[in-house]
Structure 1
Amino acid sequence: MAQKAVSNRKVPDFKSRQTVLTALRNTKMARSAHAYVRGNTMQFYEWLETSHSQLLPEGPAIWICGDCHTGNLGPVADAQGRVEIQIRDLDQTVIGNPAHDLIRLGLSLATAARGSDLPGLTTVHMMEALADGYERALERELKGKEVDLAKKPETVRVVMQEAVRRSWKHLAVERLEDTTPTIPLGKRFWPLTKEEATGIAALFEKGSISQLATSLRGRKDDGRVSVLDAAYWVKGCSSLGRLRYAVLLDVDGGVVEGDDLCLIDIKEGLKAAAPRYAGTRMPKDNAERVVEGARHLSPFLGERMRADRLQDRSVVIRELLPQDIKLEIDQLSQTEAMEVARYLAQVVGKAHGRQMDHGTRAAWLKEVRRGRSKTIDTPSWLWKSVVELLGSHEAAYLEHCRRYALEAA
């Protein structure tokens, strides 16, 4: 794997990576209050550590997303080509309280509503729809019925249709800016050190890792896998600063567009900030924790992930498929807001409910339904948590923008 020439755009060297990444993170989080909420997971976890969290119901010990905002849900494909809306980012997954996922999703949706300039009453109805959708999913699981996610809100349906239509060409143009079998160095991709390049090449000499590229429908199980190119990947808000690599592989030679090419995402597994239940058994290795959580919460994604080590660090490895796209919710109408809230809550409820036995599911459903008032059909713990978090995040976002403007100046 030879390093190619760098484009005319300035690319930081290895020593200055962290400084540039921090500045990029600040810029991304200053774009909108919703972007700030998505990128600032630590403020949410700090809130959970306060005495306020003692008022929350103590749900069953199951795998939770830990960072369940709208950007972490979306279409996900399995190895056979089927596509469903599932949780698509499990960096913070732990065995913890499912109430945390519901609150985090509620905060994200409420922030999106504020960004769409929707009236406060719409947010009230969104939280009611959120609770209703989650309860519906648990109730169907309780009755032994499949959670019906076929009827989608228009916002979700459009994204799903796009996902199903996408091909390798769409993925290559979106991620790599071209369909040629190279990764263009520049703003999004930075050159590797010799040690990084050697470590990545060695990683795909392992059968357990190269099998990721041969397990998809239409590829030979015994196909030969070779590394065509690799680069450090500047991607996402929450992942900035950790090891992150894009690797382009060829399966069985010939570099034929589509089935023979695959784009691999390697992400460092860091310690989860999300609170876990004491006394529960989880993998000690952070990458293994992420993969195990994915298998429970998002089976389509979990079957396509592996945990290993690179440069003596724990990493999660998965192939990016054209159908794996983010559910972007930046502008919502009043009707869509409630429909989207109900639908996404059902997705999360299905992910949670499948992990519980009948008795546990019934007890948790009863607990979720408690605490409603005469004026709002939402559990009081959920409503009060979202309102409090919405206020603190709005203030913190404005302060972030002020600090960033001063730093930039």
Structure 2
Amino acid sequence: MKSPKSAPPSPGDRAAMLTVRRKHKMARSVHAFVRGNTSEFYDWLDGTEGRAIPQGPAIWIGGDCHLGNLGPVANAQGKIDVQIRDLDQTVIGNPAHDLIRLGLSLATAARDSDLSGVVTARMMEQLTKGYTNCFDEKTDRTKAFPSPDTVRVTIKEAVRRSWKDLAKERIEDTTPHIPLGRTFWPISKEERKAVEKIFEAKNLFCHITCAGIGNENTSVRILDAAYWVKGCSSLGKLRYAVLLDAETAGSGKTQRCLIDIKEAGPAAAPRQPGARMPQINGERVVEGARHLSPYLGDRMAAADILGRSVFVRQLLPQDMKVDIKKMPQEEAGKIAHYLGTVVGNAHARQMDREVQKLWKKELQRNRAKTLQVPIWLWSSIVGLVAGHEGSYLEHCRKHAFHAKP
């Protein structure tokens, strides 16, 4: 006999439950710990070892480029590309930080997949090669990079997905309500009014929706809204799922949409001294997304809920993450190379040719004779893996040792 499901918490009881859930999620594996612990990464960079990293050109960086934050996204016209899909930490900063963060994520994913150190070293070579090639003047960044089988399967799935697939995956149902339970919690009347107020803003909906639906006179009706317990590093911030009907432009018909509203907190990623960025965090996230991931950024908007900055976007069926639970050895190098090109392409499009040449020259300096990786990148990843391994074990001892399996 199954035990009855516990009721979702009231708005006032969220904080404690979210803290516990976040700590338990981070205890699942060292890779999960790395994904949910951006602050430790930047604490390390702020130390003596991190100061040895070269200062790259001042551009928008993702700030948290781990495996789960890369994947297929669709633009307003439905075209699909693999880009950075989570920009909470985006700032005008040092592109080397994105490269190191991705290298750390790949290295810990390799450890969780029981891959040898030799395979990991080769992955770092391929990551460097894929990233560096994006700054070659012969590279045509308008062409899609060849994707490994693991990524190609995800892209094919994204292409064929429909609204029903999105609804079943995200809200477990296609009916006009959001089922409360483990993933979705009730919101207060005050929160509901604040959510409704967002969609009263003229032009907001047409900025976040796909082509053919929204214009400044689009009529929007909210069907349901709930607090969304999602992610790991974002647990504890405001996050809402909103189900609504929008009138298709000029047709009189309605189309159902799932909207993601997420709080934009201060970025842990260090910004370049003197860099001019939006002071409001929601606007910072949207601006960074437009530079790094235009397919996503061009359908995002900043807003405000109860005095807290948020950003708003419509979730499309094609928006997915590259979910690699077990890294296949035969594809590890190809995956590293491909994801290096995704991040490299996001960086390169912000640089003119002369800046690209200088950055590529820096990336090719100081390589060891036995490893085609810059020494600063390899030593950073080694140091970060070692540090996170120890912190992960301490985290498990403190927060998950007595938890039920």
Please state which band the TM-score falls in when normalised by the shorter chain: over 0.9
The 2-side partners of 1:81 and 1:406 are apart by 46
The 1-side partners of 2:79 and 2:317 are apart by 12
The 2-side partners of 1:251 and 1:225 are apart by 5
TM-score by length of 1: 0.94
Q: In the alignment, what sits opposite 2:109?
A: 112
Residue 218 of structure 1 and its aligned partner are, at CA, apart by 3.3
Residue 32 of structure 1 and its aligned partner are, at CA, apart by 1.1
Q: Can you list the C-alpha shifts for 1:284-325, whole angstroms capped at 9, x where unaligned?
A: 000000000000000000011000111111110000111101
Does 1:152 find its partner at 2:147? yes
2:204 corresponds, among 209, 217, 230, to 209
Residue 122 of structure 1 and its aligned partner are, at CA, apart by 0.3
TM-score by length of 2: 0.95
The 2-side partners of 1:216 and 1:408 are apart by 43
Q: Percent identity?
A: 57
The 2-side partners of 1:335 and 1:99 are apart by 27
The 2-side partners of 1:250 and 1:9 are apart by 30
Residue 217 of structure 1 and its aligned partner are, at CA, apart by 2.6
Whether the 8 Å CA contact 1:218–1:259 is kept in 2: the answer is no
Q: Can you list the C-alpha shifts for 1:155-206, whole angstroms capped at 9, x where unaligned?
A: 1001111111110001100111111011111111111111101111111111
4+ runs deviating over 4 angstroms: none
The 1-side partners of 2:39 and 2:315 are apart by 27
Q: In the alignment, what sits opposite 1:103?
A: 100
Does 1:229 find its partner at 2:224? yes
Does 1:279 find its partner at 2:274? yes
Whether the 8 Å CA contact 2:56–2:96 is kept in 1: the answer is yes
Q: In the alignment, what sits opposite 2:343?
A: 348
Q: Which runs of 5+ in 2 are unaligned?
A: none
Does 1:68 find its partner at 2:65? yes
Q: How does 1:368-379 map to 2 (within 5 A)?
A: 368-379=363-374
Whether the 8 Å CA contact 2:145–2:341 is kept in 1: the answer is no
Does 1:132 find its partner at 2:110? no
Q: Which amino acid aligns with 2:111?
A: R
Whether the 8 Å CA contact 2:206–2:213 is kept in 1: the answer is no
Q: In the alignment, what sits opposite 1:387?
A: 382
Whether the 8 Å CA contact 2:245–2:254 is kept in 1: the answer is no
Residue 238 of structure 1 and its aligned partner are, at CA, apart by 1.0
Whether the 8 Å CA contact 2:110–2:327 is kept in 1: the answer is yes
Residue 9 of structure 1 and its aligned partner are, at CA, apart by 3.5
Change in Cα spacing, 1:93 to 1:259, as seen in structure 2 (3 Å) is: farther
Instruction: Specify the SS of the correspondent of 2:16.
Output: helix
Whether the 8 Å CA contact 1:63–1:296 is kept in 2: the answer is yes
Whether the 8 Å CA contact 2:27–2:400 is kept in 1: the answer is no
Residue 149 of structure 1 and its aligned partner are, at CA, apart by 3.0
The 1-side partners of 2:259 and 2:305 are apart by 14
Q: In the alignment, what sits opposite 1:357?
A: 352
Residue 248 of structure 1 and its aligned partner are, at CA, apart by 0.6
The 1-side partners of 2:260 and 2:267 are apart by 19
1:59 corresponds, among 56, 59, 80, to 56
Residue 226 of structure 1 and its aligned partner are, at CA, apart by 1.0
Aligned pair count reads: 397
Residue 366 of structure 1 and its aligned partner are, at CA, apart by 0.2
Q: Which amino acid aligns with 1:383?
A: W
Q: Which amino acid aligns with 2:88?
A: D
Whether the 8 Å CA contact 1:96–1:275 is kept in 2: the answer is yes
